[in-house]
Amino acid sequence: MKLRTRLIIGFMTVMILPTLFTTVGMRILAPQRVSEMQFLLLVVIFLTAAIFIMWIYRAVNIPIHKMQDAAKQIKEGNLDFELKVDEDDEMGQLCRDFEEMRLRLKDNAEEKVAYDKESKELISNISHDLKTPITAIKGYVEGIMDGVADTPEKMDRYIKTIYNKANEMDRLINELTLYSKIDTNRIPYNFSTLSAQDYFDDCAEDLALELEAKGVLFIYHNYMEEDSRIIVDAEQLRRVVNNIVNNSLKYMDKPQGKINMTIRDVGDFIQVELADNGKGIAPKDLPNVFDRFYRTDASRNSSKGGSGIGLAIVKKIVEEHGGNIWATSQDGVGTTMYFVLRKYQEVPVDE
């Protein structure tokens, strides 16, 4: 019952009940007993008012006590409780609003704990992944200084190794910087309308050269119509493809690595498939591969490298293009990454 309704009922009770009692008493009792009537009237008014006050007090006091207890628990840092309310009046609504506030505070606190955990993990990842190439660079430089590289062939090999390790560090730093910009929506996208067939043909041509140099077999199929177009940021979408391929190369464990790239027309969408014959992903890890900082190799084998955010960047870019991404995998057989992008369709203008 609403508080206003309670007040109206109480007011009417206090006013009407004594009046009715007085009227009936005046008719029944003799006029000479007016003083007794006045006393009884005062008693009735007092009792009626007392009952009314207790009724209103309970309606207000019980929810206030519940909120006081809840506020005390929140003050002490405890958000694992529930503020139960049965009342349907204004105080009940206030308690429900308070409970909603508690739930939001709890969600924010849990997000902060998860974010702090991810931040610590990121620092650990960065420390590990930067230390590995730095240690290698330091070792090779010391070898050059100590005269270990005493032939032109050794010197050339040492310098190339130093260069490659420096590139690893540069890629890691660039990846972290990019993710920071994407995560805070500070990356400027330059969208343009492109031919889907031509764009992915160019991507495939670059990948073929890169993978051939690494001894990896590359197979490409494009089943798109020539007039199919997409609105994308060409640079960022190329990053999506490269990150997926680099992730495949990182976990390639077969003597002859293989990567298949297939472009399909699926109605209003374009579907890109990138399949490898690597070690595959365990079913328990598959739902988490696009989570930031998630890495399936818990031991953090230094040969794998990376920050654990490559696929998180991929997911973010694809979603900001209005698309979707997912993966399938067979442990020991290989993994296939899929992402879809909506086709560009011109809206006909009525003449």
Whether 299 is covered by a domain: the verdict is yes
Residue bearing the bigger pLDDT, 335 or 167: 335
pLDDT score for 241: 94
Determine which helix (DSSP H) or strand (DSSP E) holds 312, and give its type and residue range: helix 310-320
Q: Are residues 335 and 203 in the same domain?
A: yes
Q: Which residues of 17-29 are buried (b: 16+ CB within 10 A; e: fewer)?
A: ebeebbeebeeee
Kindly state the tokens that stand for 212.
């051939």
Which residues make Cβ contacts (< 8 Å) with residue 281, sequence separation at least 6? 289, 296, 327, 329, 331, 335
For residue 139, the domain's CATH number is: 1.10.287.130
Whether 102 is covered by a domain: the verdict is no
Whether 12 is covered by a domain: the verdict is yes
Q: Are residues 149 and 269 in the same domain?
A: no
Q: For residue 301, what pLDDT band results from cuts at 50, 70 and 90?
A: very low
Q: Are residues 273 and 179 in the same domain?
A: no
Whether 97 is covered by a domain: the verdict is no
Determine which helix (DSSP H) or strand (DSSP E) holds 126, and give its type and residue range: helix 90-145
Q: Which of 149, 183, 217 is the last residue of a domain?
A: 183
Whether 88 is covered by a domain: the verdict is no
Q: Are residues 24 and 73 in the same domain?
A: yes
339: phi then psi, degrees, rounded to nearest 5: -145, 150
Q: Are residues 198 and 171 in the same domain?
A: no
Query: What pTM, to 2 d.p., does this model score?
Result: 0.61
Q: Are residues 256 and 337 in the same domain?
A: yes
Q: For residue 150, what pLDDT band results from cuts at 50, 70 and 90?
A: confident
Q: Are residues 215 and 234 in the same domain?
A: yes
309: phi then psi, degrees, rounded to nearest 5: -125, 5
Q: What's the rounded mean pLDDT across residues 83-108?
A: 82
Q: Are residues 54 and 125 in the same domain?
A: no
Judged by average pLDDT, the poorest of 33-47, 79-93, 200-214 is 33-47
For residue 285, the enclosing domain spans 192-342
Q: How many domains would you assign to the chain? A: 3
For residue 237, the domain's CATH number is: 3.30.565.10
Distances (CA, A) of 349 to 48, 158, 184, 227, 346: 76, 64, 38, 19, 9
Q: Are residues 117 and 41 in the same domain?
A: no
Query: Cβ distance 165 to 239 under 8 Å?
Result: no
Residues above pLDDT 70, as percent of the chain: 79
Q: Based on C-alpha coordinates, what's the Rg of the chain?
A: 37
CA dist., res. 37 & res. 32, Å (int): 10
Whether 347 is covered by a domain: the verdict is no
CA dist., res. 9 & res. 53, Å (int): 12
139, 142, 144, 150: CA torsion to nearest 10 = -90
CA dist., res. 11 & res. 165, Å (int): 85
Q: Which of 183, 213, 239 is the last residue of a domain?
A: 183
Which tens digit of pLDDT belongs to each residue from 12-31? 666 666 666 666 666 665 55
Query: Cβ distance 243 to 310 under 8 Å?
Result: yes
Q: Which of 183, 218, 238 is the last residue of a domain?
A: 183
Judged by average pLDDT, the poorest of 43-57, 162-176, 249-263, 281-295 is 43-57
Q: Are residues 204 and 171 in the same domain?
A: no
CA dist., res. 148 & res. 282, Å (int): 44
Which tens digit of pLDDT belongs to each residue from 304-334? 555 567 888 899 899 999 999 999 998 888 9
Q: Are residues 338 and 198 in the same domain?
A: yes
pLDDT score for 299: 41
Paired strand residues for 41: none
Q: Are residues 201 and 335 in the same domain?
A: yes
Q: What mean pLDDT, rounded, does the chain reach?
A: 81
Query: Cβ distance 142 to 134 under 8 Å?
Result: no
Residue bearing the bigger pLDDT, 5 or 173: 173
Which tens digit of pLDDT belongs to each residue from 102-140? 889 888 888 888 778 777 776 777 777 778 788 889 998
Whether 171 is covered by a domain: the verdict is yes
pLDDT score for 271: 95
Whether 279 is covered by a domain: the verdict is yes
pLDDT of 33 over the 80 cut: no
